[in-house]
């Protein structure tokens, strides 16, 4: 497998505890994500739902992490917080050396634009825009000039083998192609992390494998990838699998440990 | 997000949703259309008043010394008319002292005018306006003689029986024959036609070309005023605009002395300029504009409400899109700007359609009715600005709703 060519570092439980322990201090540059005791509660019509109950997580640059858990485990909430779409009620979230958990809306928008590349289950492409325009969008909000935007968007689309489909609209593309457009869009602004939410949830198994190969090669080339999924065989593509339960980390293991325990075989 | 990008996006939205956009724009479009039409017609009437009507009656840089103002739009106060009626008449004997007092380079003419019946062998008697003139009347009035010739100095001073006729009288009094050299009778006295003037045009369907002009000293003056020594007006033309006031002051002093007016007593004569004749028009033009603008404004309010509604629907429909844009880094103000620009663009496109339709409607009205129309360039600018303004105002609430959406909630919405 391609991980032979590039062995990304893995975070051990001890390292994680060490780095998340030093509250208030900015983590050193190798840590792209550090959360310290983050809590998120929702008021659902008088009833308080505690989605995250003091979660500690640390991710090194270049890691490829899957976040798993049954529904209600808090993985969507964690994804929203990691993706800077939402902020915790309590605790610290450091992204790429910046304390995100206290940021205001506009700063969060800037961080999402610069640091995060989203890939969604339902692709979330603008239906009326061409593939090229969809990929250009993050650059529009980054204030990049039109000519540079086009060049970089073309580049990103070529990297996902869609150079010949740039003027197609989403409804003229297959599911796998749409997800590749979304990946190109996620990467076009060179984010610190690629954040994928059930990226294969709407794809058949063969297309899912194609997308996983794209992720694999991105991870091998040094891109930090965080993938939220509830499918164990998809999670097994990552090098590290974090399992959530009741708003806390239930397990945090290397892929090998994870697959062994579950007895999941990864198809070659 | 750059404005250009937002405008492009808005135009793309209009293109994709043609029918919906049309209904959205209809209110603003119709409002602006009537705005442009009404303003064009009022502007046209104003131009008519200034250039055609008053401009033809009172020459440039000139004023007319008269017993009372000649041009009157609506000053119908009986007390004023009573005062006008009591004023003394002007006499030919007033002319010399007045002319004497004028500065160098000032032109003068005298004029008397009345409705008369004119008869030739070629047609039945025609009613027409007769002018008895002296001085530089043709030069001041800028009225050219296209056929025949003007009066000679001798004809004017000797008061010979010669006339110059307006184009309308050519057909009406001399059907099928060349009038030059032929006879025309006024009050039983024969005159020889020596010239035909160019056309003075018409205003509101009334021709200015039915007239004849004779030297004042000819017997014509017996037809024009009860006393043959009376005259109707002394027309004074200063070499330039500032010199008018100076000439007016001198003429006022002469006339006050001649009428033995004590200081503090009001003038019992009038000195009318084109500006003073237009005073009344300027007054009602303002009211007409207010009324003309207020009515279409109601249409614009309705248009604004429609746009606001459509934009609220658009925000609701595109909540998911807003969520996507948020996720990709759109700030609140980017979303705000996007919907504001969209609303403004939508409305401006409507306004531009309305301007085109309004110009068309104004031209059509001008073509089929006697009402004139003249499209004022400022009304086009106002039309576009109004469209943009309506769009921005009606877009504020929907756009701020859009910008306040929670990205997580917006993304979840399908």
Contact A208/A200 with Cβ under 8 angstroms? yes
- Give me the DSSP letters along B358-412: HHHHHHHHHHHSS------HHHHHHHHHHHHHHHHHHHHHHHHHHHT--HHHHHH
pLDDT, tens digit, for every residue of B131-155? 999 999 998 888 899 999 999 999 9
Return the percentage of chain A with pLDDT > 70, whole number. 94
Contacts of B318 in chain A (CB under 8 A): none
For residue B5, list chain A residues with Cβ-Cβ distance below 8 A.
140
What tens digit of pLDDT does each residue of B74-126 get?
A: 666 888 888 888 899 999 999 999 998 898 889 999 999 999 999 999 999 99
A80 touches chain B (CB under 8 A): yes
Chosen for mutation from A108, A128, A191 (greatest number of chain B CBs closer than 10 Å) is A128
pLDDT value at residue A1: 40
- Taking CA atoms, what residue in A is nearest to B335? A141
Mean pLDDT of A112-136: 94
Using a CB–CB cutoff of 8 Å, tell me whether A114 touches chain B.
Answer: yes
B12 with A124: Cβ contact below 8 A: no
- Looking at every residue in chain A, the average pLDDT score rounds to 89
Q: Do B329 and A138 touch (CB under 8 A)?
A: yes
Residue A141: list chain B partners with CB under 8 A: 1, 325, 328-331, 334
- Say how many C-beta atoms besides its own lie within 10 A of residue A18's C-beta: 11
Chain B residue at shortest CA distance from A76: B408
As a whole number of angstroms, the distance between CA B183 and CA B174 comes to 10
Nearest to B198 by CA among B157, B241, B153, B165: B165
Place of tokens 């009304």: B379
pLDDT at A80 over 50: yes
Q: What is the pTM of this model?
A: 0.71
pLDDT in tens, chain B (414 residues): 567 777 887 888 788 778 888 888 888 899 899 989 888 888 888 887 777 667 667 777 888 999 988 776 666 688 888 888 889 999 999 999 999 889 888 999 999 999 999 999 999 999 999 999 999 999 888 889 999 999 999 999 999 999 999 999 999 999 989 999 999 999 999 999 999 999 887 766 778 899 999 999 999 999 999 898 999 999 999 888 788 888 999 999 999 999 999 998 889 998 888 777 777 777 788 888 888 888 888 888 988 999 999 899 989 999 999 999 999 999 999 999 999 998 999 899 999 999 999 999 999 988 888 778 888 888 899 889 999 999 999 999 999 999 999 999 999 887
Distance CA B366, CA B38 (A): 12
End-to-end CA separation in angstroms for chain A? 9
Using the structure block, give the residue that is written with the tokens 């010239």.
B195
Q: Hey, what are B139's tokens? A: 């030069």
Interface residue of A104, A140, A142 to substitute, partner B, most B CBs within 10 Å: A140
SS3 assignment, position A2? helix
- As a whole number of angstroms, the distance between CA A186 and CA A195 comes to 8
Among A141, A156, A169, the strongest candidate for a mutation testing the B interface, having the largest count of B CBs within 10 A, is A141
- Put simply, the answer to whether A185 touches B328 (Cβ < 8 Å) is yes
Name the minimum distance, in Å, from the CA of A109 to any CA of chain B. Answer: 5
ipTM: 0.91
Q: How far is B1 from chain A (nearest CA, A)?
A: 6
Residues of A in contact with B12 (CB under 8 A): 128
Cα–Cα distance, B236 to B140 (Å, whole number): 8
Contact predicate A199/A175, CB 8 Å? no
């Amino acid at each position: 497998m391609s991980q032979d060519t590039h062995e990304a570092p893995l975070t051990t439980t001890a390292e994680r505890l060490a780095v998340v322990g030093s509250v208030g201090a900015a983590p050193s540059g190798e840590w792209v994500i550090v959360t310290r005791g983050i809590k998120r509660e929702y008021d659902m019509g008088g009833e308080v739902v505690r989605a995250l109950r003091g979660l500690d997580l640390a991710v090194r640059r270049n890691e490829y992490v899957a976040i798993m858990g049954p529904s209600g485990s808090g993985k969507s909430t964690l994804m929203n917080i990691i993706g800077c779409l939402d902020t915790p009620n309590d605790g610290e979230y450091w992204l790429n050396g910046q304390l995100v958990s206290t940021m205001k809306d506009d700063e969060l928008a800037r961080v999402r634009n610069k640091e995060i590349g989203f890939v969604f289950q339902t692709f979330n492409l603008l239906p009326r825009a061409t593939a090229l325009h969809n990929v250009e969008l993050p650059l529009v909000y980054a204030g990049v000039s039109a000519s540079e935007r086009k060049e970089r968007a073309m580049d990103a689309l070529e990297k996902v083998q869609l150079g010949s489909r740039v003027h197609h609209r989403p409804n003229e593309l297959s599911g796998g192609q749409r997800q590749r457009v979304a990946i190109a869009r996620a990467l076009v602004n060179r984010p610190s992390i690629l954040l994928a939410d059930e990226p294969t949830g709407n794809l058949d198994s063969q297309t899912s494998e194609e997308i996983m190969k794209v992720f694999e090669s991105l991870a091998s080339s040094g891109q930090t990838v965080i993938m939220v999924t509830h499918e164990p065989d998809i999670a097994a593509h990552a090098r590290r699998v974090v399992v959530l339960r009741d708003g806390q980390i239930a397990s945090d293991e290397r892929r090998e440990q994870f697959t062994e325990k579950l007895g999941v075989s990864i198809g070659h | 997000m750059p404005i250009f990008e937002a405008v492009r996006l808005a135009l793309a939205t209009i293109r994709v949703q043609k029918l919906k956009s049309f209904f959205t724009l209809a209110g603003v479009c119709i409002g602006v259309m009537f705005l442009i039409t009404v303003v064009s017609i009022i502007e046209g009437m104003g131009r008519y008043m200034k250039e055609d009507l008053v401009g033809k009656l009172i020459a440039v840089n000139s004023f007319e010394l008269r017993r009372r103002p000649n041009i009157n739009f609506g000053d119908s106060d009986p007390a004023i008319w009573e005062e006008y009626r009591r004023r003394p008449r002007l006499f030919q004997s007033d002319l010399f002292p007045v002319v004497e007092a004028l500065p160098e380079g000032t032109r003068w003419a005298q004029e008397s005018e009345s409705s008369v019946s004119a008869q030739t062998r070629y047609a039945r008697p025609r009613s027409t306006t007769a002018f008895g003139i002296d001085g530089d009347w043709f030069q001041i009035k800028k009225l050219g003689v296209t056929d025949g010739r003007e009066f000679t100095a001798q004809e004017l001073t000797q008061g010979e029986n010669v006339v110059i006729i307006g184009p309308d009288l050519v057909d009406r009094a001399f059907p099928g024959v060349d009038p030059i050299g032929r006879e025309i009778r006024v009050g039983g006295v024969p005159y020889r036609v020596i010239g035909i003037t160019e056309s003075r045009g018409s205003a509101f369907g009334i021709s200015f070309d039915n007239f004849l002009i004779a030297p004042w000293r000819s017997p014509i003056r017996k037809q024009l005023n009860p006393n043959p020594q009376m005259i109707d007006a002394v027309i004074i033309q200063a070499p330039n605009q500032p010199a008018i006031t100076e000439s007016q002051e001198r003429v006022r002093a002469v006339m006050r002395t001649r009428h033995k007016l004590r200081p503090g007593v009001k003038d019992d004569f009038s000195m009318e300029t084109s500006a003073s004749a237009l005073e009344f028009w300027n007054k009602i033009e303002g009211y007409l504009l207010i009324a003309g603008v207020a009515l279409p404004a109601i249409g614009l309010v309705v248009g604004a409400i429609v746009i606001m509604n459509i934009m609220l629907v658009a925000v609701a429909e595109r909540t998911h899109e807003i969520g996507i844009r948020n996720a990709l880094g759109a700030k609140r103000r980017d979303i705000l700007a996007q919907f504001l620009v969209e609303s403004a663009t939508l409305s401006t496109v409507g306004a531009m359609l309305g301007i085109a339709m309004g110009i068309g409607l104004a031209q059509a009205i001008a073509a089929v009715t006697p009402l004139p129309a003249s499209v004022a360039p400022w009304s086009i600018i106002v039309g576009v600005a109004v469209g943009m303004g309506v769009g921005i105002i009606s877009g504020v609430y929907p756009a701020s709703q859009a910008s306040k959406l929670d990205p997580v909630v917006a993304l979840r919405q399908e």
